[in-house]
Amino acid sequence: MKPILGKETYGRGLMAFKFHNIDFLGHTGGTSGTSTILIYDDKNKISIALSINGEMSPRNDFANDLIDIIYNNRLNLPQQ
């Protein structure tokens, strides 16, 4: 199921993602007004599942913030 890293980024059910220089394998989906992502960090054995109901928060921005929290990185809160 894993893509051949360095040769493929998708095509075997899982796609390669990079958030904050961390390699993940996973899959995305969604429909009108919803967005999902499921990613797995094989090195640290961490899985993250995210489902967003609404279009106000872009999925990748939300995933980046969630990854910052999980990996103890500095989280920059939005300014008003």
Beta sheet of 46-53, edge-to-edge order: 15-19, 22-29, 34-41, 46-53
Distance between CA atoms of residues 30 and 28, nearest Å: 7
Beta strands in the chain (DSSP E): 15-19, 22-29, 34-41, 46-53
For residue 41, the one-letter residue type is: D
Give residue-wise pLDDT tens across range 7-44: 776 667 788 888 888 999 999 988 888 889 999 999 99
Q: Which residue has the higher pLDDT, 4 or 49?
A: 49
Give residue-wise pLDDT tens across range 64-77: 888 989 998 887 77
Domain locations in the chain?
15-70
